[in-house]
Chain A
């Protein structure tokens, strides 16, 4: 049992490492489909984590895992791809913060997250886990994407990566947090993306572009 937990702990850290790698991939890519793909891969990785963390396969944990994989890994990326096809967006992204600067910012944020985590008052059982630095790094990545990209769909991807970071934090409380909260957040997110999938079409029709910088002026 002890050994199993140890191996699982390592696997969990490996998965978090992969998620951090996907963060940097999302920051550096100049293609929208690649951004969506890395976001959905991150969703799947995050969905697998609760199963690894809980030694007893509780039906609630399984449900959260399945809902996360289905929602973040399949449904939301599917919606975004559909929206992309429907409005024939340029696949090339046009960033406000360039790719190299955003990659460097993200890497700096990741390193800072790793450096600052030991200063936080964590429980002893979480001290050597990568969950907290991984969560902080993912939140920072999401913020950089939200600020640095001008395109609506890319900003949605940033928002979902930000949410992935918050979800990673939530995994620390997996035993304490009620299922309803988890389910509610996932539902909100899904509905939000669903609505956006429809709105993107309208934005495109009205403004002939998905550049959110145009949306700052009011019209009659």
Chain B
């Protein structure tokens, strides 16, 4: 009974907190540009509005068009359940859950891509091609990052992997994971979430034909993914496991807030990269994580 209550509370926590992050990013962007910007809770209003609307279905699309966004959302929520939350621990932990996390993220992407191609529009096809070709490089980097965490802790369970602090490789890993975060969540140097110009869109191009509740699921899933990566980044780099529970929770919250503000700052200060320069940045992220792996392997820089 207690376990069930814990799980429900945890799900509520992820569901309710996640849409806050895009709101904070937009607020930071507005603040840098000197505008007032949309309210921090804007995404909540959007989700509520979308939930009330009906779904427009293409005559070409199969029922998968509606089912797959929901599947993506479920995959991301399950991934969130595996992610430990500082002193609270993970909702579900077992040996090898790090691998399951990677596969759940991949499953979420697969479902989004499939749903995007359901309508048969060339536009969505273009978006999916870009999404998947970036994902190949970003996933390599993410796998290298998870490997380095696993090598330095000697475990493949997320709860123990994220526990001990990292030595000299922490800086490398932080930089690598931050670039991965930007790439996986389609943030600015890779994709501009605000743009609606055909030639430049990636994630937005994929979800263009969705409407109503499925679109709400996609938007909410994207915000959960952002929160998931922010939590992963903070816990991989900061020695949260050694602090008192209350202090650890505060550090985790402050860290996630810091990462979110950093994303907002990157978004306001940088321009989107040209497509041919993106592989270079992703390769850099891969190499950063690879060197972090080597440092972890060799046990300190020697």
The reply to whether chain A is a binding partner of chain B is yes
- B15 close to A (CB within 8 Å): no
The one of A14, A104, A114, A130 in contact with B294, judged by C-beta atoms closer than 8 angstroms, is: A114
The B255-302 residues at the A interface (CB cut-off 8 A) are 277, 279-280, 283-284, 287, 290-291, 294, 298, 301-302
Establish whether residues B301 and A103, one from each chain, have CB atoms under 8 Å apart when the complex forms: no
CB B171 to nearest CB in A, in angstroms, measures: 10
Count the A residues whose beta carbon is within 8 Å of the partner chain — how many? 15
Chain A residues in contact with chain B, CB under 8 A? 13-14, 17, 24, 28, 30, 99-100, 103-104, 107, 111, 114, 128, 130
- With a CB–CB cut-off of 8 A, which chain A residues contact B280? 28, 30, 99-100, 103
Main secondary structure of the interface of A (DSSP, over half): helix
Known contacts being A100-B279, A100-B280, is A130 close to B290, with CB within 8 Å?
no
The one of A30, A103, A128 in contact with B283, judged by C-beta atoms closer than 8 angstroms, is: A103
Establish whether residues B301 and A107, one from each chain, have CB atoms under 8 Å apart when the complex forms: no
- With a CB–CB cut-off of 8 A, which chain B residues contact A17? 168, 301
Count the B residues whose beta carbon is within 8 Å of the partner chain — how many? 13
- With a CB–CB cut-off of 8 A, which chain A residues contact B168? 17
Establish whether residues B301 and A13, one from each chain, have CB atoms under 8 Å apart when the complex forms: yes
- Bound CA–CA A114/B298 (angstroms): 10
Establish whether residues B294 and A111, one from each chain, have CB atoms under 8 Å apart when the complex forms: yes
- Bound CA–CA A111/B291 (angstroms): 9
Chain B 164-198, CB within 8 Å of chain A: the 1/0 string?
A: 00001000000000000000000000000000000
Establish whether residues A107 and B290, one from each chain, have CB atoms under 8 Å apart when the complex forms: yes
Establish whether residues B302 and A13, one from each chain, have CB atoms under 8 Å apart when the complex forms: yes
Known contacts being A30-B277, A100-B280, is A107 close to B302, with CB within 8 Å?
no
Establish whether residues A100 and B283, one from each chain, have CB atoms under 8 Å apart when the complex forms: yes
- Closest partner residue, chain B, to A130 (CB atom): B301
